[in-house]
C-alpha cells in the first residue's frame, strides 16, 4: 500500500512539473503577418538621438526581407520620411542613418527580420 501511494505521489509530482514548465513563446504574439515598430527619441543639451526599430514577422520578411537586407541604409532613410520632427519650430539636421539588420528563426522554418535605424 505504501509503495502504491509513493508511486501515485511520484506520478502526481511529475505531472505538475511537466505542466508547470514554461513553454516557448512564438516569435510574434500577433501572428506571422505582424510588423512591430518602435521609435525612441532621446533629447539632450547637445542634440537628439533617434532609434527606429522595425520587427517583421515571417510573412513580411519573406516578401521584403531580401530587398531590405540589400540596402538597409536606404530602407532606414525611407522610414525617416514618415517622421515629422521639429525642435522649436525648426526641422533639425540629422546625421545618419546607421542601419543594422538581424534575421532570426521564426515559425514553420521561415525567418523574421529586425531592422534597427539610428540618427543623431
117 phi and psi, to 5 degrees?
-120, 145
User: What is the predicted pLDDT for the residue at 71?
Assistant: 97
In contact, 53 and 117? CB cutoff 8 Å? yes
Query: Comparing C-alpha atoms, which of 28, 100, 101, 79 is closest to residue 58?
Result: 28
CB atoms within 10 A of CB 7: 10
Q: Which of 70, 51, 54 is closest to 114 using CA atoms?
A: 54
- The helix or strand, by DSSP H or E, that contains position 101, with its residue range, turns out to be strand 98-105
| Three cell numbers written together for 119 | 540618427
Q: What is the pLDDT of residues 22-48, one digit of tens each?
A: 544 444 566 889 999 999 999 999 889
Q: Is 16 helix (H, G, I), strand (E, B) or coil?
A: helix
**Which pLDDT band, with edges at 50, 70 and 90, does 115 fall under?**
very high
* pLDDT tens per residue across span 84-94: 888 889 998 99
SS3 state at 63: helix
Residue 48, strand partner residues: 43
Amino acid at each position: 500500500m505504501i509503495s502504491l501511494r509513493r508511486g501515485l505521489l511520484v506520478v502526481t509530482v511529475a505531472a505538475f512539473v511537466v505542466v508547470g514548465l514554461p513553454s516557448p513563446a512564438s516569435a510574434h504574439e500577433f501572428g506571422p503577418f505582424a510588423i512591430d515598430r518602435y521609435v525612441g527619441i532621446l533629447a539632450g543639451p547637445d542634440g537628439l538621438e533617434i532609434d527606429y526599430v522595425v520587427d517583421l514577422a515571417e510573412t513580411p520578411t519573406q516578401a521584403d526581407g531580401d530587398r531590405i537586407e540589400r540596402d538597409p541604409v536606404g530602407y532606414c532613410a525611407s522610414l525617416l520620411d514618415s517622421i515629422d520632427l521639429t525642435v522649436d519650430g525648426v526641422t533639425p539636421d540629422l546625421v545618419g542613418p546607421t542601419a543594422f539588420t538581424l534575421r532570426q528563426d521564426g515559425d514553420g522554418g521561415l525567418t523574421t527580420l529586425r531592422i534597427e535605424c539610428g540618427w543623431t
